Structure 1
């Protein structure tokens, strides 16, 4: 199997032993649903894989920064309550992927670095193995999103779509709240600043 350039997001649930069996299943289902959303963004599989009980991994194509995806994964959990949280380690590099997409059998520096970084982390954080500017942006995104309420997470999750996010009126309709409530939730969640920063970052990363 040939090596390819990928960005790995590896995480585990924080305080998972405090969750009931149903709560753990809810959290993993939320992460899996977020991974499906992320696949739509990249137009290819990201191979959501559970590992080590409360751990998980996804694999993005190429050298994607991974921060937008980390925010989506956090929002997918947070919409169910503040008890649902994950740490996320991000690393870009070469990797070999198995044909069946089981990331537990993947290998290469991207997976090694993401796993090592996750093992070093304490508490709910986003960190990027590369250090420098990407890690600084990851830390800021973590800080902003750490305070999201469930209502803010529900509002911002669909708005993280990188191209043509939905209208706020459509989000309001799907959540059965007013458009004003959606706007207030997005403002409190720091959406405008996050959107501008992510757009600038991803544009700069393009060849």
Structure 2
């Protein structure tokens, strides 16, 4: 019997303007990403194997590739909520999962990892303001371009609200988010509305539902 293939998504990123940030701030940015990766393990049912590389770079592997764009937006929200000056290039590619993922993804060189790294190089070489790229040239690739454009405008307050709302596992009430953030429900509602979260969430759910 032919064994069913399992697909993963690989996100490869570089912190934007890392040289200007300095070592201490770069460490804060990477720590925020790692904390977000740990939280996303609940989405995937397994570790994302968050790995730092090339000084200001990072990489994760997603066992559930249909969450790739949601994951990328969560990482941006984690950075922006920590410091509005933080951001990262994020390139996404999918491919067959290796038989075993190493704890340190720097030691992995299967297809999805190579394609994600190449996509990051392509993304950084572009002359436009794009900072997220999905190698899928169909609906997911197009949605990533639009979501990137929208999310680049998130304020710190909007990013914080998004970070607590974007989990696919449950509908979290605005009241609960407000209590967590120490803000009023009205302030959270205003932040999420201003960030375009309603439309983003609907788009994500549509992509994830139709994922093959």
1:94-173 map, 5 Å = 94-96=96-98, 100-122=102-124, 125-173=131-179
| Alpha carbons 2:101, 2:108 under 8 Å: kept | no
Q: CA deviation at 1:4?
A: 4.8
Is contact 1:82–1:149 with CA below 8 Å preserved after alignment?
yes
Following superposition, the deviation at residue 48 of structure 1 comes to: 0.3
Structure 1 stretches (4+) deviating beyond 6 angstroms?
none
**Deviation, structure 1 residue 65:** 4.8
Change in CA separation of 1:99 and 1:137 when aligned onto 2, cut-off 3 Å: closer
What SS does the aligned partner of 2:172 have? Answer: coil
For structure 1, list consecutive stretches of 5 or more residues without a partner in the other structure: none
Aligned counterpart in structure 2 of residue 27 of structure 1, from 18, 26, 29: 29
Cα offset, 1:6, TM superposition: 1.1
User: 2:36 touches 2:74 (CA, 8 Å); kept in 1?
Assistant: yes
How many residues are aligned here?
204
In structure 2, the CA distance between the partners of 1:192 and 1:20, relative to structure 1 (3 Å rule), is: same
Describe the SS at the equivalent of 1:127: strand
Task: Give the TM-score of the pair, scaled to structure 2.
Answer: 0.91
1:131-167 CA deviation, whole Å, 9 max, x = no partner?
1221100001101100000000001111001021321
Counterpart of 2:199? Answer: 193
TM-score (ref. length: structure 1):
0.93
Other structure's SS at 2:66 match = coil
Q: How does 1:74-89 map to 2 (within 5 A)?
A: 74-89=76-91
- Could you tell me how far apart the structure 2 residues matched to 1:16 and 1:109 are? 28
Task: Note the C-alpha offset of 1:100.
Answer: 3.9
Q: Does the 8 Å contact 1:74/1:85 carry over to 2?
A: yes
The 2-side partners of 1:6 and 1:120 are apart by 21
* Cα distance between partner residues in 1 of 2:113 and 2:31: 23
**Counterparts of 1:64 and 1:92 in 2: how far apart (Å)?**
10
Give me the whole-angstrom Cα distance separating, in 2, the residues matched to 1:44 and 1:54: 25
